[in-house]
Structure 1
Amino acid sequence: MSKISQDPIRCRVVSQLDNLASRPGLLLLLFAGTYFIGFSLIASKSVVSNDELFTLYIARLPHFSDVWAALATGAEQTPPFFYAISRADLYLFGTSGLALRLPELLAFALMCACLFHIVTRRTSAVYGFLALLFPFMTTAFNFVAEARAYALVLAFSTFGLLCWIWACEGRNRVLALAGLATSLGAAISCHYYAVLSLFPLVVGEAVRSFRRKRFDVGVWVALGWSLSPLVLFLPLIQSARKFAPHFWSKPRWSSMAYFYDHFLLTSSAVPLLVIFLFVVAYGALRRSHADLIESPLRNRIPSYEVVAAVSFLLIPVVGVVLAKAAIGAFSDRYALPSVIGLSIIVAWGLYIALDGRLAIACGLALLFCGFLAIKEVQTLRRVVKTRSDQASTLAFLEEYANGNAPIVISGSTQYTELTYVAPQEMKRRLTYLVDPEMGLAYTGTNDIEQGLVEMKLWAGLNVQPYRAYISSGQKCYVYVVNYPAKYEWIVRALQSADWGLTLVRWQGNRILFLAAPGASARSADTVNPALANGR
């Protein structure tokens, strides 16, 4: 085909993309449909995870004083406001998978809306659309439909950033300052590590104060006031600290690099990032000489706003330093608000690189939206398979764990998740043997063991002291997944106690033993998979 015949086609495509880019309502409607349909299905089909069961069991306690008492044990290190939100949600909508995760679903959408507004006001709607879509290219995606505090922290932190920008501009200043203090305070009241979200705003406001040669007292008071929940929750924080010495995720200096490598550059996003770089390069090569003039965007964004956005990327560094110096526990999800700054910077960078072109940006936005839809389908297939595997596990135990002997589940996560969905008769047999000292000796951590000791009081779990059970001499089945597993010590402990382990069934990664004191049995360490007739 000749170049002449190609030009009209290219012009029509560009015209259509320009037209779509100038209609933000359609773009937002496309996102809303993709987001809410996809994640509603994911939320409704997902297995309730071990962490989410902490949310559920504590949130449905009879009175809020019971919630406070449960948190005062230190076994759950999440502030009370998160449970106030969860209790209201359960009261209004019940305990279905979708209802349980509804606050997080709405919160993540709020974060996206704030990102859209922050970027749109400096560029155009299509670049705001790119900003709201970018978090789904990171593993922030995994926390959209999880009934934990992380999506709420993202929502409150992003809204706090927006309120700070409004306050700096003098827009509805009293409301903006109130929103700044309230939103950041709410974030901290949902997760203690949300205090890291103050860091970018403090740095940005410090730069603003330096440039203005005077302090904005209202902003500094609002930022300081947002820390007030920490005073109220100090007794709970002190209780939680007793779990820090043997926490499952200790802070390491390498945690900084791990975050940037694992959290912001996920393997699933690599193909899209390659396309993204190609589009940017294409846009740069198409610039005319006139386009090389400095982009007006650079003059529109105040320096303090740029500093704040960039400072979000330093949250993992600040978090690890804080954890090393004072807390003793750190997981990469605690630094999740870094995604806020990255999304804004990417959108601004695209606007500059593409000289504000609408058609290319709209094409890229549609690509991002397609990536989101594909990722949702992949996740939905995975969660459906996980639910099917859980049902298969229960069927496996029903078929091969004959009689009424207790079924000891070797992993705490498997135990809590299976107990939640098991039929009542099976639930009575499912058992977890707990011993914080032995857990520490075998695995190097015992916060999970200590947590289950407390959790059984809230959830009515059949968690029994390991030493007392061994002394009773009662035989039991032992269910193991992927033996040997790092955090599952029960098989090794039984062998050390001279209990015999007889292989009952080996099916895939599922292994079922019959354990009895002093029995003459094959050692679990020498089981040959070829001997297992279900293999």
Structure 2
Amino acid sequence: MLSRACSVLFALLLAVHAVLATLTSLKKPFWFDELFTVHAGRLLHSGRLWQALYDGLDAMPPAFHGLNAACAALIADPHLAYRLPAIAGWLLATSGLYAFGRGVRGQAAGLASVSLFALMPVSLYGSEARPYGLLLGVTAWAMVCWLGEKRHRWLLLLLPLAASLHYLAPLTVACFALAEAVHYGVHRQVRRTVWLAIGLAAIPVVLTLPTLLHARAESGAQHWARPDIRGIPYYYGNLLGLPLYVALAAIPAGLALAAYGVRRRRQEFFLLFPMLMLPLMGLGLALLSGGAFAERYAIPVVLAAALLVPLSVPRFPSRAESLCAAGLSAAVIWFAAAGAVRLVRLPPAEVAARESPLLTSARHAPGDGLPIVFANSLDFLPAAHYAEPALAARVYCLADKDAAGRIGNTADNARLMLTLRRYADLNIAAPGPFIAAHPRFYVLTSGLPRMNWLPAWLKERGYRLQRQPDSQLLLAEP
């Protein structure tokens, strides 16, 4: 009876998440990073995608953008189309965790794993037009296939696909290589199919390496995600949703579990331990290579964390385990269903974006035809995307790497906007030529102070900035 209840709860959890992710996709406007996915996907048909990625337009490999372009060609609503790979990936990750946990310790462990996974803050990537949700799904099923001898042939597809989705995904493949090396050391068995799959995963890495190296050279040392060894507890804490002192305990706990797994010949721990170390591996690679690193680049660590808890606790009577797992999953389903009900009442993404406070402020600008410059490029891109044509024609972004780096330490953001200008029909300009053509204009400030370097730059050049009545707008005059 409890076994059947666990199966029903898992099916409900999967269904509720599918509904929640779909509603979120339809109701949530695109944000800055997602709009780079949209613009890059549109370049595939014109044959300019590879060149744009080579120039550093986006840090995601071409396979990811090709998949998004295919979805956009099939689905009318772009918010659902560009987020569909993430939704599918999240459902795959959930089912993969359940299959892994059930295969090792039974249905209760599988259900507990997916419930913990659903509670982690990375759940937002299950409905975001970036590759992280899909990477989780592909990795989760690669883990399942690695565990079962009869499924090894699927690794020939899954590991190369994972390596094609993100430039740091090869580190996840390296975790499989480490696990397979430990398996050989313990069992003295060469599993050729697994090693062949690991070798095939190197092909997309080699093909996209020139693009990655050139894009990194374009970004230089001013990338927004500069690696910092002091950020280790934050990387773990932000991914797993744990307090910092708990996140710090993840590393020694992982070491202890690895030793236990090798001693007991528990194959699942051969793989889970290196995956738990992914943030450290990514940080180390970034520091050695001069590249970038943010915690989400090591997102498969959440799969290992979600599995390690139910697989590591001492065994209890099966009835008690099933009741605990069922209670946890029922709570997750309840909160997810409540979230879905709230989303139903919200307006569609297009309407919500056009009614945003920033676009409303821009819309209330005097009808004198003066340009409206968004000081924060993070807000400019959504505004330009959703504004009605008449307003979009007035909306500008000014980008200067030197000024942005000197005043706000945001040179890489300015570089991104200048690169995007070459591939999208947007009002992005260098400050000098712009103020020569438009001596008077409005400035709209928003968000983090460091992103709003433009007012300080204008004051350095003797501009006066006058706050407009009942508005966020500043009138800039020489």
Q: TM-score, normalised by structure 1?
A: 0.80
Note the alpha carbon deviations across 1:226-275, whole angstroms, 9 max, x for none. 121111112211221121411011000022111122221258xx9xxxxx
Check if 1:311 corresponds to 2:287: no
Offset of 1:206 from its aligned partner?
A: 1.6
Instruction: Count matched residues.
Output: 460
Q: How does 1:459-470 map to 2 (within 5 A)?
A: 459-470=424-435
Offset of 1:396 from its aligned partner?
A: 2.1
Aligned to 1:216: 191
Q: How does 1:70-81 map to 2 (within 5 A)?
A: 70-81=52-63
8 Å contact kept, 1:94–1:100: no
Check if 1:33 corresponds to 2:15: yes
8 Å contact kept, 2:400–2:431: yes
Q: Given the alignment, which residue of 309, 312, 316 partners 1:346?
A: 309
Offset of 1:445 from its aligned partner?
A: 3.1
The structure having more radius of gyration, on CA atoms, is: 1
Looking at structure 2, the residues matched to 350 and 368 of structure 1 have their Cα atoms a distance apart, in angstroms, of 21
Q: Does the residue aligned with 2:373 lie in a helix, a strand or coil?
A: strand
Aligned to 2:474: 513
Aligned to 2:370: 405
Q: Given the alignment, which residue of 330, 333, 350 partners 1:369?
A: 333
Offset of 1:107 from its aligned partner?
A: 1.0
The one-letter code sitting in structure 2 at the alignment partner of 1:80 is: P
Gaps of 5+ in 2: 247-260
Q: Given the alignment, which residue of 185, 208, 216 partners 1:241?
A: 216
Q: TM-score, normalised by structure 2?
A: 0.89
Q: How does 1:60-75 map to 2 (within 5 A)?
A: 60-61=42-43, 63=45, 65-75=47-57
Aligned to 1:527: none
Structure 1 residues 423 and 333 mapped into 2: Cα distance closer, same or farther (>3 Å)? same
Aligned to 1:83: 65
Q: Does the residue aligned with 1:82 lie in a helix, a strand or coil?
A: helix
Q: Does the residue aligned with 1:210 lie in a helix, a strand or coil?
A: helix
Offset of 1:371 from its aligned partner?
A: 4.0
Structure 1 residues 463 and 32 mapped into 2: Cα distance closer, same or farther (>3 Å)? same
Q: How does 1:254-269 map to 2 (within 5 A)?
A: 254-266=230-242
Check if 1:228 corresponds to 2:203: yes
Structure 1 residues 141 and 375 mapped into 2: Cα distance closer, same or farther (>3 Å)? farther
Aligned to 2:157: 182
Aligned to 1:201: 176
Offset of 1:23 from its aligned partner?
A: 4.1
Q: Does the residue aligned with 1:458 lie in a helix, a strand or coil?
A: coil
Structure 1 residues 378 and 137 mapped into 2: Cα distance closer, same or farther (>3 Å)? farther
Check if 1:440 corresponds to 2:405: yes
Structure 1 residues 317 and 374 mapped into 2: Cα distance closer, same or farther (>3 Å)? farther
The one-letter code sitting in structure 2 at the alignment partner of 1:467 is: G
Structure 1 residues 228 and 72 mapped into 2: Cα distance closer, same or farther (>3 Å)? same
Structure 1 residues 143 and 380 mapped into 2: Cα distance closer, same or farther (>3 Å)? farther
8 Å contact kept, 1:431–1:462: yes
Q: Does the residue aligned with 1:251 lie in a helix, a strand or coil?
A: coil
Looking at structure 1, the residues matched to 141 and 26 of structure 2 have their Cα atoms a distance apart, in angstroms, of 27
Q: Does the residue aligned with 1:144 lie in a helix, a strand or coil?
A: helix
Aligned to 1:486: 450
Looking at structure 1, the residues matched to 346 and 293 of structure 2 have their Cα atoms a distance apart, in angstroms, of 27
Aligned to 2:421: 456
Q: Does the residue aligned with 2:115 lie in a helix, a strand or coil?
A: helix
The one-letter code sitting in structure 2 at the alignment partner of 1:254 is: R
Offset of 1:52 from its aligned partner?
A: 0.8
8 Å contact kept, 2:27–2:343: no
8 Å contact kept, 2:160–2:197: no
8 Å contact kept, 1:255–1:332: no
Check if 1:124 corresponds to 2:89: no
8 Å contact kept, 1:419–1:430: yes
Q: How does 1:385-400 map to 2 (within 5 A)?
A: 387=352, 390-400=355-365
Q: Does the residue aligned with 2:464 lie in a helix, a strand or coil?
A: strand
Structure 1 residues 46 and 354 mapped into 2: Cα distance closer, same or farther (>3 Å)? farther
Note the alpha carbon deviations across 1:97-130, whole angstroms, 9 max, x for none. 2222111101110111111111111222232122
8 Å contact kept, 1:477–1:515: yes
Looking at structure 1, the residues matched to 359 and 416 of structure 2 have their Cα atoms a distance apart, in angstroms, of 24
Note the alpha carbon deviations across 1:328-350, whole angstroms, 9 max, x for none. 21111111100111111122135
Looking at structure 2, the residues matched to 241 and 356 of structure 1 have their Cα atoms a distance apart, in angstroms, of 54
Looking at structure 2, the residues matched to 444 and 382 of structure 1 have their Cα atoms a distance apart, in angstroms, of 36
Q: Does the residue aligned with 1:159 lie in a helix, a strand or coil?
A: helix
Looking at structure 1, the residues matched to 290 and 343 of structure 2 have their Cα atoms a distance apart, in angstroms, of 34
Q: Given the alignment, which residue of 318, 334, 359 partners 2:323?
A: 359
Note the alpha carbon deviations across 1:164-206, whole angstroms, 9 max, x for none. 122xx3x15xxx23x2132121112111111121233222212
Looking at structure 1, the residues matched to 453 and 220 of structure 2 have their Cα atoms a distance apart, in angstroms, of 21
Check if 1:105 corresponds to 2:69: no
- Cα RMSD after superposing both structures: 2.7
The one-letter code sitting in structure 2 at the alignment partner of 1:236 is: T
Looking at structure 1, the residues matched to 346 and 123 of structure 2 have their Cα atoms a distance apart, in angstroms, of 14
Gaps of 5+ in 1: 1-18, 271-297, 518-535
Structure 1 residues 471 and 388 mapped into 2: Cα distance closer, same or farther (>3 Å)? closer
